[in-house]
Amino acid sequence: KTEIYSKHLDKWLLVSVYSPEQGFFVTLVEDITERKKIEGINRENQERMEVIFEAVQAGVVVIDRETHVIVYANKQATQMIGAPVSDILDRKCNKFICPASDGACPITDLHQTVDNSEKCVINVKGEMIPILKTVTPTIMGGREVLVESFVDITERKRQEQALNAEAIRRRILIDQSRDGIVVLAKDGSVYESNRRFAEMLGYSPEEIKQLHVWDWEFQYTREQTMDMISNVDEAGDFFETRHRRKDGTTYDVEISTNGAAFEGEKLIFCVCRDITDRKKTEDELRKLNIALEQSPSAVVITDLDGRIEYVNNAFVTMTGYPKADAIGENPRILKTGETSEEEYQVLWKTIAGGGEWKGEFHNRRKDGSLYWEQAVIACIKDQNGAPVKYVAVKQDITERKRAEEDLQFRNVILSTQQEASTDGILIVDEDTNIVSSNHRFAEMWGIPQDLIGQKEDKQLLEYVTSKMADPKSFLQRVQYLYEHKGETSQDEIILKDGCIFERYSAPMIGINERYYGRVWYFRDVTERKRSEEMLRASEEKFRNLIENLTEGIGVTNEEEKFVFANPAADSIFGLGKGLLVGRSLKEYLTPASIQQVAEESRQRKDGKKGFYELEISAETGEKKVIFVSAIPQTDSAGKCIGTMGLFQDITEQKKARQEIEDTSRRMDLILSSAGEGIYGLDDKRRTIFMNPAAANLLGYSVEEMIGQVQHEVSHHTKPDGSHYDSKDCPINASITDGQIHHVTGEVFWRKDGSSFPVEYTSTPTVENGRTIGSMVVFRDITERKQNEALQSAIYKISEISTSSESLLELYAGIHMVVDEMMNTANFYIALYNEKEDQLEFPYFVDERDPSPVSRPLKKGLTEYVLGIKKPLLAPPMVQKKLADAGEVEIVGTPSVDWVGIPLKNGNQAFGVLVVQSYREKVRFGARELSILNFVSDNIAAAIQRKKGEDERKKLVAELQESLNNIKTLKGLVPICSSCKKIRNDGGYWQQVEEYVSEHTEADFSHGICDECAHKLYPQYFKDKKNKTRGDEVG
């Protein structure tokens, strides 16, 4: 045999010459051009493949399929095996690099497919190296080979093990988390959750996996929840809501969410924290903050270094520092330097040691003015008792300090006056104990010093009585005055030695009418009595009256100089007794009163009396207001020669009256400005005051309500119409039991007979430990009740849309929900069938008209609302106006009120919900229109959703029916055992391809199997080793 190339023929020829007999030759010539081309291509492919094998990063070995001997290994394979190519080639793979035993080759013996599978390769050290392996059977150089490519995945396996360990660790951490963690799929189902989340909801971990988010979400509807899920992105969200446990109870949660893609699917990761306790704490802190902000005392909180972290409004008012200026500063910004460093050291040592410091500071405001404050400073400790903050509570005591200084000054004056007095003065308290006495008192009575020092007046009284000429009368008078505390007394007493004393006694009564004790004045008038005995009878009574009057009396001449003044007048003008005489009234006038006195003087000269208030500046510099009763003094000719004036110091009264007026004005302003109703009751349950808000809510004027028994006017009937007994009234109960009563769920009645729901608090008014009435604060919660009803309606509509089996059941459920909020005796739903161009009435309830059938569009009110796509409230006047304008035609029985709300899908109206009334007693207004408009979107969504469900069910049924009609090939098929033709239903024999094409949707492609190829083309397989493959058949 030989292969030759014929240039003439441009072909390769295989020439075989043999001699079957001697002298006879047979020459066979076979065209092998195509085979040579294929061999050339194979050589090129093999060379190209070797280049590729060397270039790839994976290890590649080529193994003879029949002998399992390695015939090729690239550089990467030799590096991975750890041996040179010469040591690898011509060795059996299972004796060297493959762990398989003889006869158990995964490819040739077990007929497995190895495609990107994890296997192992053995290196020269005998180590098992994990690899990712692919085996491809092919033909190279005319023989069958296995091309194995593999990648070392040792590092990947290590990383996978690390990731698995990390995943286990993370799972443990997630399950140990104090927060509930749940991963949601985009359809709201639970993808994964930790154990804490299941415990929070009261489910087992297995039960949780069967739930959807709306099974526990309480605050948001299913639609709202799904909308939130669809909008969650990688940035996430953070919000608060409420969850419903398995047992139906609810609790507050704080949720942090973010979206992420995992294996091509969007997942929503949620971390849920139970904030029930935190909510309670926040509520308590909010109340505490309100109390701090409304406290009349200034509150300052600093850190341990003294930096201010918090001040309340009272601090701002007291110091003039705005909060922004004070925060971050040290309280030393208020220092004046008057408090010693030693005192500050004591303060810091006390509070740093956990104690409480109390004291006073003379501080400086922001505007530079000074003020006094009383402060209590303590430390705030944490749960371990360690100091964390300092808090100071301060009160402005500037006025009190001024009052104390003034009182001290007055006491000095009084003490001086007392000692300088020529009268003997004795002061006793309310228990008749001696408070003080002057030197003149002891001198007049000759009282021993040791007796004067005693506080009890029993021995002193016995000593004095022993000197009396008539001790019995003396004691009786003393005892009488002690028993009659409010009486003033002035008399004369005669001693055994003949001395005569004037005795004057007056009670000490405070501005609050409290009895503090009694003052005794004793004046020795023995000599005067002896020298003026004749005059005394006529003048004594008058003189005593003038001298001892608490009102000042003074007489001025034409030059306004005092020619007479009693001690009270001296005292009023800030002078000692008798010092006012000779002084001019003008010396004590303030600039504002000079002109006033000049005018009054002209009135006196005209002979007119005057009664007026006058502001003076006393000798001490103190501003006083006195009430003057001025009487002109005339001579025998009737000429005015002066004025006699009675002076009453009304300074304190003016201050008290001004304070009362200011307080009253502030209270009136507060009551008038309050948005809530406020009224007060006395112990007879009668109204003693009421603010305008309360009167307006009840429909009365304030004047109408004063004096009324409030329960009989506005609280006489319960919400259900039954009588409300006053004995059961919580407002009246607060007067009886002295407790605060907070009530929700009752109604107050207006003047017009209507009622409204209220929430009120009745607080007892207590004076001197006795309940004298109550104060009631109430608010109209109509809007809140309506909002609650609307939210409930939306929730019920959502529930009904989910649970209803049919559209009719849904419509009836919607009717029921709306009926809870208004009268719906006449209610219908109209839907526009766009395909048929018809108006349909799938639900119709009416007192007058029968249920209408579907009809073409007319010009009724229903079609009008459908067209304008807006709500319509149509009383008769509106209906007539629309009819006159040609906009509508009245269809059916005319109604008193007609309310229509469009049902819309996006901007497109697909129906109308209508409520109407035929009775004057049942009227609709803005409230009903607002309610229907509020719930219309939810109703429209529920109807659209239900219709969509019905359409889907119908489509599924149609698809099922279509599937049932598809031709299938099944059952027994008669086939010829020889030619393999199939007998059809008509009894004719058909080719397999023709029969299958008619009875199925299958198509055919043609090829030739190995066995047939050998039979049909034996010349191509002659002398071939492999008699079972047909790969070389062209």
pLDDT tens for 733-782 read 999 999 999 998 899 999 998 889 999 999 999 888 899 999 999 998 88
- Residue 235 within any structural domain of the chain: yes
The percent of residues above 70 in pLDDT, for the chain, comes to 91
Local structure of 862: helix, strand or coil: helix
Shared domain for 918 and 827, answered yes or no, is yes
- Residue 728 within any structural domain of the chain: yes
* Terminal Cα-to-Cα distance of the chain (whole angstroms): 24
Assessment of whether the complete model's pTM goes beyond 0.75: no
Shared domain for 10 and 122, answered yes or no, is no
- Residue 931 within any structural domain of the chain: yes
Q: Residue 728 is part of a domain; what is its CATH number?
A: 3.30.450.20
Q: Are 502 and 475 in contact, with CB atoms under 8 Å apart?
A: no
Amino acid (1-letter code) at residue 633: Q
**Going along 888-1022, which residue ranges are E strands?**
897-905, 908-917, 982-983, 989-990
Query: Residue 501 is encoded by which pair of tokens?
Result: 């004393």
The answer to which of 62-71, 175-184, 972-981 has the lowest mean pLDDT is: 972-981
By residue count, the chain amounts to 1034
- Over the stretch 472-491, which tens digit does the pLDDT of each residue have? 999 999 999 989 988 999 99
Q: Are 103 and 109 in contact, with CB atoms under 8 Å apart?
A: yes
**Going along 236-297, which residue ranges are E strands?**
237-244, 250-262, 265-274
Shared domain for 809 and 881, answered yes or no, is yes
The whole-angstrom separation of Cα 183 and Cα 178 is 16
The answer to which of 325-339, 612-626, 876-890, 931-945 has the lowest mean pLDDT is: 931-945
Work out the mean pLDDT of the chain and round it to a whole number. Answer: 85
DSSP 802: H
Shared domain for 624 and 735, answered yes or no, is no
- Over the stretch 182-235, which tens digit does the pLDDT of each residue have? 999 989 999 988 888 999 999 998 998 999 999 999 999 999 999 988 888 888
* CB neighbour burial string for 793-818, b if at least 16 within 10 angstroms, e if fewer: bbebbbebbeebeebeebbebbbebb
The arithmetic mean of pLDDT across residues 126-136, rounded, is: 87
Shared domain for 532 and 648, answered yes or no, is no
Domain boundary among 546, 576, 597: 546
Shared domain for 521 and 584, answered yes or no, is no
Shared domain for 892 and 767, answered yes or no, is no
Query: Residue 935 is encoded by which pair of tokens?
Result: 């719930």
Q: Are 76 and 85 in contact, with CB atoms under 8 Å apart?
A: no
Query: Does residue 790 carry a pLDDT above 90?
Result: no
Shared domain for 69 and 18, answered yes or no, is no
- Residue 103 within any structural domain of the chain: yes
> Which of the four pLDDT bands, split at 50, 70 and 90, describes residue 952?
confident
Domain boundary among 670, 688, 712: 670
Shared domain for 542 and 611, answered yes or no, is no
Residue matched to tokens 């409204």: 756
Shared domain for 431 and 520, answered yes or no, is yes
Shared domain for 836 and 892, answered yes or no, is yes
- CA neighbor of 93 nearest in space, from 141, 139, 145: 145
- Over the stretch 583-597, which tens digit does the pLDDT of each residue have? 999 899 999 898 988
Radius of gyration of the chain (CA): 57
The whole-angstrom separation of Cα 900 and Cα 917 is 12
Residue matched to tokens 């005394």: 536
The whole-angstrom separation of Cα 433 and Cα 497 is 28
Predicted pLDDT at 1032: 38
Cβ-Cβ contacts under 8 Å for 307 (sequence gap 6 or more): 328, 329, 330
- Residue 605 within any structural domain of the chain: yes
- Over the stretch 846-862, which tens digit does the pLDDT of each residue have? 999 999 999 999 899 99
Predicted pLDDT at 1026: 43
Q: Residue 870 is part of a domain; what is its CATH number?
A: 3.30.450.40
- Residue 786 within any structural domain of the chain: no
- Residue 849 within any structural domain of the chain: yes
Query: Does residue 397 carry a pLDDT above 70?
Result: yes
- CA neighbor of 1013 nearest in space, from 1004, 1005, 1022: 1022
The whole-angstrom separation of Cα 715 and Cα 731 is 10
- Over the stretch 508-543, which tens digit does the pLDDT of each residue have? 888 788 888 999 899 998 887 877 666 555 566 667
Domain that holds residue 99: 37-157
Beta bridge pairs of residue 429: 517
Query: Residue 416 is encoded by which pair of tokens?
Result: 């001086």
Q: How many domains does the chain have?
A: 8
CA 338 vs CA 244, 334, 342, 474: distances in Å? 63, 11, 12, 55
- Residue 790 within any structural domain of the chain: no
The arithmetic mean of pLDDT across residues 898-908, rounded, is: 92
Predicted pLDDT at 1033: 33
- CA neighbor of 182 nearest in space, from 174, 171, 194: 194
Domain boundary among 546, 562, 588: 546
Query: Does residue 970 carry a pLDDT above 70?
Result: no
- How far, in whole angstroms, is CA 430 from its chain's centroid? 58
DSSP 197: H
The arithmetic mean of pLDDT across residues 555-571, rounded, is: 90
- Over the stretch 341-391, which tens digit does the pLDDT of each residue have? 888 888 888 888 888 999 999 999 999 999 999 999 998 888 788 888 999
> Which of the four pLDDT bands, split at 50, 70 and 90, describes residue 956?
confident
Considering 121-135, 244-258, 286-300, the range whose residues carry the highest mean pLDDT is: 244-258
CA 370 vs CA 334, 341, 398: distances in Å? 9, 19, 9
Shared domain for 497 and 572, answered yes or no, is no
